[in-house]
Amino acid sequence: MRSETVVIGNKEVGIKLLLELQEILECAKIIAKVQFPGGTNPADYHFFHKGKIRKIAGDLREIAQKWGGKGLCKEKASFGVYFCAMPKTIQLKFTPAEMGDEAGVNRRFCVEAKDSSGVVVWKKKSLDARGRQPYFLVTADVYAPGEEQVIEAGFQLRDVTGSKEVHVIGAGPAGLYCALELIELGLKPVVLERGKAVKERRRDLAVMNREKVVNAESNYCFGEGGAGTYSDGKLYTRSNKRGPVQKVLQSLVDHGAPEAIKYEAHPHIGTNKLPQLVEGLRKTIEDCGGEVRFNQRVDGLTIVGGKVKSLLLNGGESLTVEAVVLATGHSARDIFEMLDRSGVAIEAKPFAIGVRLEHPQALIDQIQYKCEFRGDGLPPSSYSLVEQIQGRGVFSFCMCPGGIIAPAATAPGEVVVNGWSPSKRNGKFANSGYVVTVDDRDFSLFDKAGALRALRYQQHWEQRAFQVTGSLSAPAQRMEDFIQGKVSANLPENSYLPGLISANVGDVLSENIHRRIRESLVVLGKKMKGFRTNEAILVGVESRTSSPVRIPRLSDSLQHTSIGNLFPCGEGAGYAGGIMSAALDGMRVANAVLAVFEQVR
């Protein structure tokens, strides 16, 4: 029978139709795709798999669970219901040594499935190192030979040359993925990026590390790919509540990321591989008729009748616009200041501030794996820490095994540190942000700045760090010296290329933050033998953990609360934290733009 998509007008009609189809539904192991009204948002698609709902639409749960199995059928029925034999899903444990033989691992799955010629597709891989003997837990689907595999597709792209334009400010993860989704929806993205393309940007970073000179338009935060290009490439968001995670992962694989990111519990690409991948994303956008323009900083908005009519660029050019996606990232302070001057509503937002901790990687391996040497079968170890100290959480952030500490300042006269790891995570050091959440209780000295008070607080401590060192060199202290309150006589070998200066790190943090970090390290030293050591250092200041500003938007249309065609998006607007959540928010905003265009039409 021919196959077609069913569009159901309401839930009651859908239930009736599915009940009428029960006679054809001879197999419990089916995939059924049903589209409800409301556009092309992934939430409008409901998938039924082995009688269990992946995305539930009210009473359809009960009906799907009633479908009984009477054998297998590979025929395609009408109404967009596809019958196919489904794989056996199996979970097995493996030692680190066993994981080194991928073919052997796959044979184990085939034996378990009682199908020696089965096709094994890994779905999830995680490491459990809580006991004395670490082990890997792998979940895989085993398909019969010739059986059709369920594969998550990436973007379904088209030529959008000449289509209606949407201007996207910022070429970070949110902006790039908004652009890709707009292309899939038939709209033309025009991406405006203040910084440079990846290759030119790399030269500016070399100067920054070598000569300690910050280019305010081209640095670790600004330029092609945004902060994401040099952010380590963690892809930790797994919840489909945020959007189509697998679609994003598949698109990254399509552009050069390793297949393993689709099943690793904590997927990671690596800073050394991200630049080429980001270039590939841009090329895809351009090949489809979209535009990505570099060295295009937005300095102003012309607002008429509650809508943005044009953008004023740094070269004096004025661009007439129909819709604007504001995806500038968490460090675009001039954008926040411009919005505040223009009377566009923004809000101060809590964020976190603290230091970078750095230990020898071998020491962290010993602590986490409970052995002298981790061996070849185990990856460089990481940690995730949190302590409650005097009513506030002190926690690790963006942990980078085998990584380096990098300068993340975006203007002269400030010191900011961040961290990243290469794909192999094979460096000598492990570093992590170690921070405390700050809110309006901490911003009171900057109340006169209004909605910019959190930003001014952040800026104050970054500038204070620069005053202590006099350059892009960062203030640092050995851990035990920090706890004891004395300046270190010397500092150990470390990964921070612009260099460290021995200083009292407490001088670049408020007393509230300094005290909580110190007390939490004392607690951790009792819980993790070896963690409290003078071989570890604290480097200041880690302050760009998230945006200090939120740009308010409506919960349904995602438009700014007072500007009809302005769509705040991603981490800079306060709606994401990291590559994955920013990319997903960009895609969500793209669908919101289309919905508004359709309403107007």
Please check whether residues 37 and 125 belong to one and the same domain.
Answer: no
Task: Work out the pLDDT band at 89, boundaries 50, 70, 90.
Answer: very high
Task: Work out the pLDDT band at 237, boundaries 50, 70, 90.
Answer: low
Mean pLDDT of 448-455: 98
Please check whether residues 334 and 404 belong to one and the same domain.
Answer: no
* CATH number (domain holding residue 278): 3.50.50.60
Please check whether residues 189 and 292 belong to one and the same domain.
Answer: yes
Mean pLDDT of the chain: 87
Residues 51, 28: Cα–Cα separation, whole Å: 6
The boundaries of the domain holding residue 134 are 89-143
CB-based contacts of 312: which residues, under 8 Å, 6+ apart? 298, 299, 300, 301, 302, 318
Taking 70 as the threshold, does the pLDDT of residue 251 lie above it? yes
Q: Hunting for tokens 């395609």 — which residue is that?
A: 76
Please check whether residues 387 and 520 belong to one and the same domain.
Answer: yes
DSSP codes, 343-387: T---EE--EEEEEEEEEEHHHHHHHHHSSS---TTSPPP----EE
**Any domain includes 289:** yes
Please check whether residues 408 and 305 belong to one and the same domain.
Answer: no
Whole-prediction pTM value? 0.86
State which of 40, 66, 83 marks the end of a domain. Answer: 83
Residues 542, 517: Cα–Cα separation, whole Å: 13
Mean pLDDT of 392-413: 96
pLDDT score, position 76 = 33
What is the 3-state composition of the chain as percent helix, strand, coil, each rounded to the nearest 5? 30, 25, 45
Assess contact for 575 and 169: CB atoms under 8 A.
Answer: no
Query: Residue 80 corresponds to which tokens in the numbers above?
Result: 């967009």
Please check whether residues 493 and 385 belong to one and the same domain.
Answer: yes
Task: Work out the pLDDT band at 473, boundaries 50, 70, 90.
Answer: very high
Q: Which 3 state secondary structure label does DSSP give 216?
A: coil
pLDDT score, position 600 = 74
Share of residues in the chain with pLDDT > 90 (%): 77
**Any domain includes 153:** no
CA dihedral sign of residues 411, 412, 418, 419: positive
Task: Work out the pLDDT band at 86, boundaries 50, 70, 90.
Answer: low
Query: Residue 295 corresponds to which tokens in the numbers above?
Result: 């060295």
pLDDT in tens, 30-77: 344 433 333 333 333 333 333 333 333 333 434 444 433 322 233 333
Please check whether residues 394 and 282 belong to one and the same domain.
Answer: no
Taking 80 as the threshold, does the pLDDT of residue 24 lie above it? no
Taking 90 as the threshold, does the pLDDT of residue 535 lie above it? yes
What dihedral angle (degrees, nearest 10) is formed by the CA atoms of 157, 161, 165, 166? 30
pLDDT score, position 401 = 96
Q: Which 3 state secondary structure label does DSSP give 438?
A: strand
**Any domain includes 275:** yes
Residues 571, 554: Cα–Cα separation, whole Å: 16
Please check whether residues 340 and 354 belong to one and the same domain.
Answer: no
Task: Provide the pairing of β-strand 30-35 with 347-348.
Answer: unpaired
pLDDT in tens, 296-327: 999 999 999 999 999 999 989 999 999 999 99
Please check whether residues 404 and 289 belong to one and the same domain.
Answer: no
Q: Which residue has the higher pLDDT, 406 or 57?
A: 406
Mean pLDDT of 511-536: 97
Taking 60 as the threshold, does the pLDDT of residue 444 lie above it? yes
Query: Measuring CA to CA, which residue among 581, 572, 595 is closest to residue 170?
Result: 572
Q: Quick one: DSSP state of residue 61?
A: H
Query: Measuring CA to CA, which residue among 349, 347, 306, 352 is closest to residue 551?
Result: 347
**Any domain includes 156:** no
Assess contact for 247 and 152: CB atoms under 8 A.
Answer: yes
Please check whether residues 364 and 465 belong to one and the same domain.
Answer: yes
Mean pLDDT of 456-467: 98
Q: Is 544 exposed, middle or buried (0-12, 13-18, 19+ CB in 10 A)?
A: buried
Task: Provide the pairing of β-strand 135-143 with 88-94.
Answer: antiparallel
Mean pLDDT of 83-96: 81
**Any domain includes 155:** no
pLDDT score, position 400 = 95
pLDDT score, position 48 = 38
Residues 232, 86: Cα–Cα separation, whole Å: 36
Assess contact for 361 and 401: CB atoms under 8 A.
Answer: yes
Least confident of 226-235, 384-393, 431-440: 226-235
Assess contact for 512 and 521: CB atoms under 8 A.
Answer: no
pLDDT score, position 240 = 61
pLDDT score, position 601 = 66
State which of 83, 108, 128 marks the end of a domain. Answer: 83
Domain count, the chain: 4
**Any domain includes 154:** no
Mean pLDDT of 94-103: 96
Taking 90 as the threshold, does the pLDDT of residue 25 lie above it? no
Mean pLDDT of 113-138: 94
**Any domain includes 2:** no
Taking 60 as the threshold, does the pLDDT of residue 84 lie above it? no
State which of 522, 542, 562 marks the end of a domain. Answer: 542
Least confident of 145-149, 283-287, 482-486, 532-536: 145-149
Please check whether residues 538 and 403 belong to one and the same domain.
Answer: yes
Query: Residue 1 corresponds to which tokens in the numbers above?
Result: 């029978």
Query: Measuring CA to CA, which residue among 392, 544, 516, 541 is closest to residue 454?
Result: 544
Taking 50 as the threshold, does the pLDDT of residue 152 lie above it? yes
Mean pLDDT of 404-414: 97
Please check whether residues 517 and 425 belong to one and the same domain.
Answer: yes
Q: Which 3 state secondary structure label does DSSP give 202?
A: helix
Share of residues in the chain with pLDDT > 70 (%): 85
Q: Hunting for tokens 């020898």 — which residue is that?
A: 360
Q: Which residue has the higher pLDDT, 502 or 70?
A: 502
**Any domain includes 159:** no
Phi, psi at 415, each rounded to 5°: -120, 125
Which residues on adjacent β-strands are paired with residue 125? 138, 264
